[in-house]
Every structure is written in structure tokens, then in C-alpha cells.
Amino acid sequence: MLLKTSLRSFFAHKGRMMLSLMAIVLSVAFVSGTLVFSNTATGTFDKLFATTASDISVQPQQDKVTKGSSEPGKLATVPLATAQKIAALPGVKTAVGEVFTPNATLVNPATDKQVGPTSGAPTITGNWVDTPRNSLEITSGHVPQGPGQIVLDADTAKKAGLGLGSALRVITDSGSYDFAISGIATFKTTNPGAALAFVDTATAQRTLLGSNAYTSVEVYGDGSRSNDQLKADALSALGSGYLVKTAQEQKADNAKGVGSFLDFMKYAMLGFAGISLLVGGFLIINTFSMLVAQRTREIGLLRAIGGSRRQVNRSVLVEALILGVLGSTLGLGAGLGLAVLLIQLMKAVGMNLAGASLEIGWSVPVAAYAVGIVITVLAAWIPARRAGRISPMAALRDHGTPAEARANRIRAVVGLVLTLGGAALLLAAASATKAATGGAYLGYGVVLSLIGFVVLGPLLATTVVRLLGAALPKLFGPSGRLAQRNAMRNPRRTGATAAALMIGLALVTGASVFTSSMVSSTSSQIDKSVGADYIVTSNRALLTPAMVTAAKSTAGLAHLTEQKSLPVILTTPDGATTETSVAAVSPTFTTDFLLPVKTGTAESVNTGGISVDETFAAKHHLSVGDKLAIEYSHGRKQSLAIGLITAKGNSLFDGNFFTAIDTVGKAVPASELPSDVAVFGKAADGTDKGKAQALSALQDSLKAYPQLTVKDQAGYKAIIQGQVNSLLYMIYGLLGLAIVVAVLGVVNTLALSVVERTREIGLLRAIGLSRRQLRRMIRLESVVIAVFGALLGTGLGLAWGITAQRVLSGQGLAILTIPTGTIVVILLASALVGLLAALFPAFRAGRMNVLAAIATD
Amino acid sequence: MTTAATAVQDPQLPGDQPVTAASARQVTKAYGAGETRVTALDAVDVDIQRGRFTAIMGPSGSGKSTLMHCLAGLDTVSEGRIWIGDTEITGLKDKQLTRLRRDKIGFIFQAFNLLPTLNALENITLPMDIAGRRPDAAWLDQVVTTVGLADRLKHRPTQLSGGQQQRVAVARALAARPEIIFGDEPTGNLDSRSGAEVLTFLRRSVDELGQTMVMVTHDPVAASYADRVLFLADGVIVDEMHAPTADSVLERMRRFDGKRTS
Ligand SMILES: Nc1ncnc2c1ncn2[C@@H]1O[C@H](COP(=O)(O)OP(=O)(O)OP(=O)(O)O)[C@@H](O)[C@H]1O
Ligand SMILES: [Mg+2]
């Protein structure tokens, strides 16, 4: 019986449920799409690794110093003799020596353009070997033979426009090598997104390693022994100098690598889902509140003839349940579509999953229904409770919908306590001395103030909208006055609608305050402390000696400063060890960079001393003159005295340990010194013209190395700006969605309000309100709601952003920059959002038949 | 049906007749088509005299509301022509009709007459607000005092009784000084005392202010406040009565029922 009335009521109001349904569908689609996508991707890679992993893989034991660092250093190798020893082990069918490195750069010599991905995914160069489980097969041409031939993977070749016979240059630490493409190889299953190039084994050893060895030996058994037995045999035969991994272990390693990227995707997508869920929740609350309000008389009648509170309450919840089930089902379907879309998208970044079949699994429908139903029923809970509280008197009251009870005192108290608590936490964060505690306060402060604002929303709606709308009657006459009153008549509804918009805009504003402060802080640091005119960096591995030589030969340069990065383990006098890296620099470094001195002298870096930063010094109670014990790779050791403690607050130097290349050279032989991570140049002629000339000369001499970027200070700042921008774009993307859903919310509220106010509108039309005036009234109400939400959002976001800057002021975010332009744009855009959201409801209202409106009972 | 002709004199051009505030000629209104076709008004001719109080009566479903809606430009007619003053409204566009309603017509509905977001005074001045006209302060004062609402002006509709709400609606209709006011059972929802209050007030507005008033009603007592009563049956004007009393109207209505049942 209950179900029947609920069902009937649901379908009677299906139009009004449309937008809520859309919100649920959207959220559920994100959740299920993400899960299907990541299941499919993980499944595909598992399959790929399972079919291609060798039975056991023998790799050189990594140096204890280099192991933890991500700096590309010299490759450790397995000597030929060892490989032969492995091949002779019992149960081994074949043992294949492989040479692979991620440190080589592929260049198209015809255009001097880099081949393969320039960021993110790796380019791997190695030897072509035939193993029983090759992941690629040659689909045209033939395997590489001799010093002049190379094979490229098909996806990379296609992207770079290369084919059989095209020239391809490989640049390694030891030099540049030219090849002609002899074959194109295609992945048998899935391209995990890397670029691959293959030469024959001898060439690989000569060009990539510079020695007659392997980077790993892959072993395939004859089936007589298990992989674990093979591993045990290998370990006992080879001793402790090697790492031996079974197929299972290799698979786990690989999955971890791909997994971290997929995880990022997954969390980003779940972020989308979370935000649309949150905003969708407000939409559902509003829809059900309005349905309940519209049915006040009906419900009052039901109560008058003996319906219990619980029955009324439950009938609303059952309706929500129906909506939830329907939305989840549609969302699940849409989610599959989304997964397919994501797979296509991955193809664009080089990860080809197109051949894979969707893996859905039981977890996806469970998650979809759980999310969809729980959020709907939860959101409908408040309106349902309210419905249960409607008194039988309501049936007798004449004026259809009663003016909603004024936002109550409890709400005010709770909202104020939360908001003040949040504000107090933010203040505490801003004045915290330690960044870590400040960060924690900031986090709690953000959450608390957000919830506080959501709770206070309806109260603020009354006051803020009154202020906002005060000018409306003057500006827009009767439409303005009616709009202002309408926006205020239902503070709870206005509050919830605006809250949806507020959340998105608060995040955008906070993020843009943070990022613009970051840009201006870093720029000012560069201005203050960088004397070098140019910086040369590589997007792949290091700057090889050949590149440095080429740079040095440039005319118009006063000098060139080199910087190397060496992984080390530091032992401080307090006995603590730190895995980090030391920046070894040329003597001119101290003239190129104005090191911020806390104590000591910058010059000491050039005279056998080492610098530490203030935070590190404080942590380990270090002062100038204290000795640091340093262990480099290959067990080279040195003890250096601290000559300089750098003042904190400059992100260019924080966390760095500077010393001279010559000083390091005393402990580390030249053959073990890594190549440069960066090179800085200074123009001989300090005028703008001289600097520009030297810049183009430098770019010219490094033309053959497309992996290098040569930037002057302005260009360097632009790079930082660019890095920040890409972060911003991501945030904007995420929030674009939140705003779309928020717009849906405004449309939803207005459309339902128009339906609810049918008689009012009919009356207004009867006594002479023109269609235009009517539409304007609805548009203005919409704009008021949107601007209200935007004001709350930007206010909150400003508070968050400013606090974040204060918290990090010692961590390089010294300058607060408020992006006034962005904020003005946000406010204007919100007014536009309001106009846009009103289009449909205003159209509906304009089309309403006056007579029908008057007759509506 | 033989008495139908007495409802109107010879058709004449409304513009020549300053005593006519509204008139209809051969107005037919039909709903639906084919088998479900309902003729709500069947070739109705009517003239509403200026400065007089006209009541429209008739059995339920006889077309009273339809006639009023058509006369007031709220609804379109299937055939025939209608004038308000000397403006022909049949064939006008929505925009012009809206403007006409705004400037020349006042309405009092049976229920839901007021906007809940506006207070009494704002409701009263709403039509002028919409038109962008300033209300005539002296006139407004007079109207408000006459309806006895002077101390209730800041109240919202929910804070007023049903009778008070109807009085606000009456004040709204009067305040803009329309050429003609239409009321569809304006006292239908009121008890007899509040009803009498409103009706007395309407009567006075006709007598003292020279207002033209058309009112649809079921109640012979309400009709007795009018100068003239038109009787409608099955979409046709079947009779009219001048200077009615409650008894004579009741008597006439009884005859109606008798005729119908016979
Ligand atoms: N929108 C409509 N669609 C179809 N028929 C309608 C419509 N409106 C009215 N009618 C019909 O037109 C006829 C006249 O209706 P009207 O509302 O004018 O009657 P009334 O005299 O006002 O009755 P009451 O005293 O009950 O209010 C009735 O038969 C009614 O069923
Ligand atoms: Mg009627």
C-alpha cells in the first residue's frame, strides 16, 4: 500500500525529479566508470606482465646509497661471466642477457625533434632479444643487425612520423649515435605508454653501457623446477651481489609502477565523483523539501484522517529509494560509457587498452547502488522528517505552502560554533610557528568552516540576500522587488542551492590565491637571488659532457656554472643519518646565486665547506664548523665542515646541501662523477641586447639536443608559472564539474519554485505583469542566489588561501598575492551562471497558461 | 429561452455608447473538438453599463466564469467580438492584452488573490508598481480607509483573516482606478458577515466612486447588492433583472431549477 502510494507519487512528480536523477546518475557514473576503468586497466596489465615476465630475473644489487634516490646515475650491470654461470644452472632452458636504460634520448635528426614522450612516461632503449615471451613482435622490417640499425615501437613511430629507413639518433651519456630504422615492433597485447627502441646486443652494450655486460639476465626454465627453486639455486650460485626476482615478484614490481599512475587517475576521478555526490546531495535535499512543501495540504489531510508520522516519513523515504535505485541503475550504465571514454583517453596519452574487454566484477554494481541509494536516502532524510512533523492543521490552512519556519535557533548556534571554531583554527594555523602544525590546523579549519557555512547558509541567505537585493527594486522595479522577496522567502532552499555553488567556488578561490602567491613568491626569489642569466635543463636524464662542451663553446658567455647531484647518506654529529643528495657546483655558482646567509659565508662552499639549510641545522643542532660525514655511492666517504647555514624561506635553496665539485672530486673519482643536472650561464655583455644575443647563441649551440631547454630568467619564471598553471587547470577541471552540478541545482530550485508558484504567477499575469517582467523576475532571483553562493564561496576561499599562504610563508610562500582579476571574473561568472540557470525556468513560467494557473487547486 | 432577447438592446457600436464599459457580440466559446466538444458560451451578446454593479448568476457549469474570463481578456473566444471601453480586445496579442489588463481591468478572485511575499500595502499597489505608475496618495488613502485596513497595511497575507484578505484584494482592484472590475465569486469563501462587509464595500465603490463592477456569484443575497442581474444557462443569457432583491433573485433561480428538472 505504502509502496503503491509512493510509486504513484513518484511518477506523478517525475518531471520534478529529473534534475535530482541527473545528479545521482552523474555521481554514480563517475564512481562506477572509475572502478570499471581501473579494474580493466589493472587486469590488462596483470595479463601483460603475466604473459611476458621471465621465470626469474637476475639483476645487479643496487648500491645502498643510490637505491633510495630517483636521480639517474650510472647503470649497475651483470658481467658476462655471471650470465654464463646462470645459463649453466640446472633447470635453465635459456638465459637471455638484456641491456635496457631509461636514460637515452631518441631524436629525429631530420628535424632535431625529440621522439617519444617528453614528460611522464619513459623512453626505454635496449637490445633486441628473442625470448619465449617477447611482449613485442616485429610487424614490418626485420630485427636490428649491426651498428647502424634500430627498431622502434609502432605507436611511437606513428606519432613521430617515422617509418622503415628513417634516421633515428640515440643520445646517451657517452655520445650521439645515428641509426636507420630497420623494423617496426608492435605490442602483442597492450602498450603501457612507453616509447621503446631496440638495437642489437653488441651495439646496446657499446652505446648504452660502454661495457660488455648486461643490465639484467632473464631466465626461462625448462619446466623441471619451480621458479622459487630456480631463484634459490641462482642466489646460492651467485652470492649476495645480485637481486633475483621470480615471475611473481616481477609482476608485483611492474604493477606497482603502473599502479601509481592508475591510482592517480583513480583518485582524481573519485574526486569528481565525491564533489558531484556532495553537490548532488544538496539538489536532492531541495527537491524533496519542495515536494514535501507542495504536498503540505495533502500530507496534513493524511494526518488529519489518522496517518501516523512514521507513515508519512516513510512514504517520502520510499520515494527517495525509488529515485536512488533508478538513478544508480542509469548511472551504472553511464559509468560503462565513461569507462570506455577513459580508455580512449588513455590511448591519447599512449596507453593502449583498446583491445581489452571491460572488466566489471561484482564490486562495481555494489559500489554504484550503495553510493546512489545511500546518498539519496540520506539527503531525503531531512525533508522526510520535516514531512512527518507537518500538523493536521496544515490541511486547513488556506495559503498553500506555509512560509517555511524561520531558520531556528539551534541552527544558528551550531552554525556559529562551527564557523567560529573553523575561524579560530585558521587563525591558529596562520600564527603557528611550525608549518606542519599549521598545516594540520589549516586542514581542520577548512573542513569546519565549510560545514559551518553550509549550516549557516539559510541564516546568511536572509541577511545577505536582503542586502544584495536591496538595490533590485530600484534598478528593476516590481520584478526586482518580487525577485528579492522570492529569494528570501525560503532561506533554507536558497541556502542549500547556494551552498552547492559555494563549495566549488571556495575551492577555486583558495587554490588560486595559493598558486598566485606561489608564482609571485618564486618570481621575487628569482629576482632577489639569481644572478645567472640562463638555465639549461634536460627533460630526460642528465646533461652529457658533450652537451656541456657545446654550451661552453658559445660566444658571448662570461662563464658557465655546472651543477651535479650526488645521492648521499649524511651522518650528522648527533648520530642521525639522512638519505639525500648533495649539489656539487662550479666555483662561479656563488656569483650566479645569492645564497641567503643565516650564519657563515657563501664563499665557504667554494673552499671545501658544505652548506646546510636553516631547518636542517635546527633539527640536528648544527652550527658553522660542525662536521658532516658523507657517504657517496660505491662506498666513497668524506667528512666536510659546515661553512654556511642558508636562511629558510627560499624554495630555490631550501633542503639543498651545496659544496664544490672539486671538493667532491677529492673523494669520488672522475669516472664515478655523474653528469650535470643543470647548467647556468651568464652573459658577458650585461645589456638586454647582449643577453638576448647570448641566449640565441646558446640555444643555437644546443640545437642538436632537443631534450634540453634553454631559458633566460623570464623564461624560467614562465616555466614555474606553467607548472603552477597545469596544477590550476586540473583544479579548474575538477571544479568545472562541481559548477555544472551547482547550475543544475539552481535550475532545479527555480524550476520547482515556478511549479510551486503556479497560482502566484497566474495572478501576477492576470493583474498585468508582462511575460518579460515575469521572466526578468525569475532571472533576477536566479542571479541573486548565484551571486550569494559566489560571495560565500569566494569569502571562504580567500580565508583558506590567505591562511595557507601564512602557514607556508616560511616555506617559500613569502608573498601573498590575491588574484583580484580571477575573483572578479568568478563573481561575474556566477551572475552569468544565474542568468543561464534561469533560462529554462523563465521560459516555462512565461509559457504558463494564465487561466490554468488561476484554476490550479 | 424566449426571454433571452431582453438581455440586450439592439447591437450598437460600443464606441458610440459611453455608458458601456464592456460589451460582447455573438461570443461563442467552445472547448475540445468532436465528440468531447463543450460549448461553454453560445453566441452571447452582452453590454456592461458603466458605473453600475452587474451580477452574473446561473447554475454550475452554465458558463459564468468562462464569460467573465473572456470579457476580461484572460481567455480567447472561439467566435465573436469583445470590447473593453472602446478597445476591441478580440484579436489582441498577449502583450497588448497584458497591458490592457494592467491598465484598465481589476480582478478579485475567489481565493488566492494576494502574493504571500508582499504585505497588504504592497499587494494593493502591485498593479501600479508593475505599470511603473505612482499611486495617487490621496486616492490610496481613501481606498484603504474605506476598506478599513489602515492598521493592517504592513501585514503579510498569512497574518490576515480570509475576509481581510478579500478586502485587500478589493482595495487592490480599486486602487488602480480600472475602468472595470471583475470578481469571480469574490465572497464565495467568506462567512456571511465578512461577505456582507466586502459586498457593502463594493456597492459603495460603485455608488460613491463611480466604479464599474461585474461579479459572478451563486448567492442570491450577494446578487441583491447589484443593480442588475444576468442569468446564464447552458452558455446562453436567458434572463435579466433590474434592482434585484434577495427574494426576487431566489425566486427567479427557483424557476430555473424548476424548468430544468421539468
Ligand atoms: N478548460 C476547459 N476545458 C473543457 N471544458 C471546460 C473548460 N473550462 C470550462 N469548461 C466547461 O465549460 C462549461 C462552463 O464552465 P464554467 O467554468 O464557465 O462554469 P461556471 O458557470 O463558472 O460554473 P461554476 O458555477 O461551477 O463555477 C462547463 O461545462 C465546463 O465543464
Ligand atoms: Mg465558475
B chain contacts of residue A398, beta-carbon cutoff 8 Å = 111, 162
Which of B62, B68, B217, B237 is the best mutation target for the ligand 1 pocket, counting ligand atoms within 8 Å of the beta carbon and taking the most? B62
pTM assigned to the model: 0.74
A367 near A38, Cβ under 8 Å?
A: no
Which of B38, B57, B187, B215 is the best mutation target for the ligand 1 pocket, counting ligand atoms within 8 Å of the beta carbon and taking the most? B38
- A784 vs B: CB within 8 A: no
- A402 vs B: CB within 8 A: yes
pLDDT at A404 over 70: no
- A852 vs B: CB within 8 A: no
DSSP characters over A516-545: HHHHHHHHHHHHHHB--SEEEEESSS-B-H
Q: Is the ipTM of this complex over 0.85?
A: no
How much is the pLDDT for A400?
43
pLDDT at A658 over 70: yes
Q: In whole angstroms, give the CA distance from residue A235 to residue A248.
A: 17
How much is the pLDDT for A738?
66
Q: In whole angstroms, give the CA distance from residue A263 to residue A243.
A: 27
Average pLDDT for residues A231-245, to the nearest whole number? Answer: 82
pLDDT at A83 over 60: yes
Q: In the numeric block, which cell numbers belong to residue A743?
A: 547550475
Q: Does ligand 1 lie within 6 Å of residue B110's CB atom?
A: no
The residues pairing with B57 across neighbouring beta strands, listed in sequence order, are: B231
**pLDDT greater at residue A302 or residue B75:** B75
A28 near A336, Cβ under 8 Å?
A: no
Q: What is the pLDDT of residues A86-104, one digit of tens each?
A: 888 888 888 888 888 887 8
**Alpha carbon nearest to ligand 1 atom 3, residue:** B31
Confidence of residue A701 (pLDDT cuts 50, 70, 90): confident
What is the helix (H) or strand (E) element at residue A360, kind and residue range? none
A170 near A207, Cβ under 8 Å?
A: yes
Q: Which of A257-261, A300-304, A411-415, B223-227 shows the lowest mean pLDDT across its residues? A: A257-261
Q: Does ligand 1 lie within 6 Å of residue B187's CB atom?
A: no
In B, minimum Cα distance to A397 occurs at B158
Q: What is the pLDDT of residues A417-454, one digit of tens each?
A: 999 999 998 888 888 777 778 888 888 898 899 889 88
Query: What's chain B's length in residues?
Result: 262
Q: Which of A48-62, A672-686, B131-145 shows the lowest mean pLDDT across its residues? A: A48-62
CB contact under 8 Å between B75 and A851, yes or no, is yes
How much is the pLDDT for B2?
38
Q: Does ligand 1 lie within 6 Å of residue B62's CB atom?
A: yes
Q: Which of B29, B130, B184 to mutate to test the interface with A (most CBs of A within 10 A)?
A: B130
pLDDT at A316 over 90: no
The shortest CB-CB distance from A768 to any of B101, B114, B116 is to: B101
Å between B96 CA and nearest CA of chain A: 9
A chain contacts of residue B102, beta-carbon cutoff 8 Å = 767-770
Q: In the numeric block, which cell numbers belong to residue B155?
A: 501585514
pLDDT at A261 over 70: no
Q: What is the pLDDT of residues A564-603, one digit of tens each?
A: 888 888 899 988 888 888 899 988 888 888 888 888 888 8
SS (H, E, C) B48-86: EECCCEEEEECCCCCCHHHHHHHHCCCCCCCEEEEEECC
Confidence of residue A857 (pLDDT cuts 50, 70, 90): very low
Q: In whole angstroms, give the CA distance from residue A288 to residue A689.
A: 69
Query: What's chain A's length in residues?
Result: 857
Measured CB to CB, residues of chain B less than 8 Å from chain A are 69, 74-75, 94-95, 98-99, 101-103, 105-107, 109, 111-118, 122, 126-127, 129-132, 156-158, 162, 172
CB contact under 8 Å between A766 and B101, yes or no, is yes
B chain contacts of residue A771, beta-carbon cutoff 8 Å = 94-95, 98
How much is the pLDDT for B48?
92
B chain contacts of residue A781, beta-carbon cutoff 8 Å = none
How much is the pLDDT for B16?
45
Q: Kindly list the domain boundaries of chain B, sorted by start residue.
A: 20-261
CB contact under 8 Å between B132 and A477, yes or no, is yes
Ligand 1 midpoint to CA B185 (Å): 14
In A, minimum Cα distance to B176 occurs at A767
- Measured from the Cβ of residue A756, the count of other Cβ atoms closer than 10 Å reads 19
Ligand 1 midpoint to CA B214 (Å): 18
Task: Count Cβ neighbours within 10 Å for each residue of A603-632 and write b for 16 or more, e otherwise.
Answer: ebbbeebbbbbbbbbeebebebebebebbb
pLDDT at A240 over 60: yes
Ligand 2 midpoint to CA B64 (Å): 6
Q: What is the pLDDT of residues A364-402, one digit of tens each?
A: 889 889 888 888 888 888 888 877 777 766 655 544 444
CATH of domain B20-261: 3.40.50.300
What is the helix (H) or strand (E) element at residue B235, kind and residue range? none
Å between A292 CA and nearest CA of chain B: 19
Ligand 1 midpoint to CA A59 (Å): 93
The shortest CB-CB distance from A485 to any of B109, B114, B117 is to: B117
Q: In whole angstroms, give the CA distance from residue B11 to residue B32.
A: 29
For B154-227, list the strands marked E by DSSP: 180-184, 213-216
Q: Which residues have C-beta under 5 Å from ligand 2, the single-atom ion?
A: B 65
CB contact under 8 Å between B129 and A767, yes or no, is no
- A493 vs B: CB within 8 A: no
Backbone angles phi, psi at A318, to 5 degrees: -65, -40
Q: Is B236 helix (H, G, I), strand (E, B) or coil?
A: strand
- Measured from the Cβ of residue B180, the count of other Cβ atoms closer than 10 Å reads 21
How much is the pLDDT for A7?
74
Say if strands B53-57 and B213-216 run parallel, antiparallel, or are unpaired: parallel
How much is the pLDDT for A198?
92
Residues of chain A with pLDDT > 70, as a percent, come to 91
| CB burial of residue A482 (10 Å; 0-12, 13-18, 19+) | buried
What is the helix (H) or strand (E) element at residue B107, kind and residue range? strand B105-108
